[in-house]
Structure 1
Amino acid sequence: MRLLDRHMTLLSGSLRTLLQRESDRRRWADSPYAWLFQPYMGEESVAMACQVSEGQPAVISVAAVVLTPRRVHTSRMWWATLSVSPALVPATLRRHHQLHATDAPRTPDAECLTELADFIGNRPLVGWQLEHTLEPLNGLFKSVLGFGLPNAQVDVAKLHGRQLRRLHPHIDTLDPLGVALARWQLPPLIWPSVVSEATASALLYLRLQREIALTA
């Protein structure tokens, strides 16, 4: 029962989102991607961060890092800068490479996105303002593979806001990630890369889980 309760708390989003996940699960039941739609019963999660350039065609830098209830595993990470047409946006690509320390840009084709999907698996996703973070990435998944990421999700920004109001009911503010890290006495973002954002989101999530357990 404790395991079931823990995983039920991870489910977020509207009823429409949950129904869409169930529809996708049935649709892809006989495909190589079927396992991605199955419930995850382990203890790992994947923290995600994503930054998108302005203008078209968009350049997207993505990072995903594995975490367990006690630590963030920075040695288990996937990150890349994705561009549909690298030759058309060289200046933007250079900026993304400098900011996010990724390797040569990759084309978000079926091979690339399948590699990312295999890395994430069916583990729950955590991240700062996660719905907004995943929107451009889900767009790529839907256009190339035919489905968005079906994983259970935890928005760390909402978790932070709820716990902060629980401790300080008079506070009515929407903190940026840097302020939230400071509030919970975590290291600041030293460099605005997707890797640092994903890692910071993971650390904040673990800290909030401990705080919630202490005040429950």
Structure 2
Amino acid sequence: MFERFFRNRERKKLTEPAYDVLYETHPDEMVSFDCETTSLDVKEAEIISIGAVKIRGRKILTSESFYVLVKPEGMMEAANVTIHGLRPKDLSDGIPVEDAIRQFLDFTGGRSLVGYYLEYDVAMINKFLKPMLGIKLPNPQTDVSSLYYRQEVTRTIHNAYIDLRMATMVKKLGIPDLPRHDALNDSINVAMMYLALQARSRR
């Protein structure tokens, strides 16, 4: 009840009616997404790529994926370049972040979002979305690391350490491991992790 109240209150702050579609539900579909950024500090970071893929039922729709490069306004940290491999010259043909966010919203609509440590990626989108449209992402959100943790707690010895690194989770769930730190590959990895966790919960 309170969630619906706050959701409707936020909806009234939307400055562009065309994006009211963000409040339309899609019960049979979800979107797994990931952002690559210039830093891990949300206040300073810029988005340099966004990747996303749709999940319908128990299928990952790789034919319905989304990937865009963003041209950052500031300097990238050298340490981050070694992680995601995107150099300034690789992003020279990237589009402005506002355009990238609009394309991302057109792709996701009101579908539920899935991610790995999703709070960070959502915070990065909201950092730019709030000034653009007056709202934050209203989509329902599911974090696979939280799902995994809750499942592992019931399977391990009390107070045992639970490793939440993506590589560990992928191995434990027995799914293919696509090259990481690529926004689209990470989105597909997360989608596979989500479906594996759902299957494991049904056993």
Secondary structure (helix, strand or coil) at the match of 2:55 reads strand
Shift of 1:83: 3.4
- The Cα offsets for residues 57-97 of structure 1, whole Å up to 9 and x where unpaired, read as 73432111101222211121111232352xx54897xx498
Q: Are 2:142 and 1:137 aligned?
A: no
Match of 2:168 in 1: 179
Structure 1 CA distance for aligned equivalents of residues 199 and 65 of structure 2: 23
Structure 2 unaligned spans of 5+:
none
SS across alignment from 2:27: coil
| Partner amino acid, structure 1, of 2:186 | E
What are structure 1's unaligned runs of at least 5 residues? Answer: 1-14
Mapped to 1, the partners of 2:134 and 2:197 lie a distance apart of: 34
Higher RCO structure, 1 or 2 (CA under 8 Å, sep 6+):
2
CA positional deviation for 1:183: 0.6
Are positions 1:33 and 2:19 aligned together?
yes
TM-score normalised by the chain length of structure 2: 0.81
Q: Give the Å deviation of 1:179.
A: 0.4
Residue 32 of structure 2 is matched in structure 1 by: 47
How many residues were matched structurally?
194
Aligned equivalents of 1:102 and 1:178: distance in 2? 27
- 1:64-213 correspondence runs (5 A): 64-85=52-73, 88-89=74-75, 95=81, 98-99=85-86, 104-109=93-98, 111-170=99-158, 171-213=160-202
Contact 1:184 1:207 in 2 (8 A): yes
Deviations 1:84-117 (A, max 9, x none): 52xx54897xx498449889311022x4422211
**1:143 to partner: Cα distance:** 1.9
**TM-score, length-scaled by structure 1:** 0.77
Q: Deviations over 1:145-193 (max 9, x none)?
A: 2222110000110001111112224333241111001011112242421
Return the alpha-carbon distance in structure 2 between the equivalents of residues 53 and 202 of structure 1.
24
1:192 aligned partner, one-letter code: H
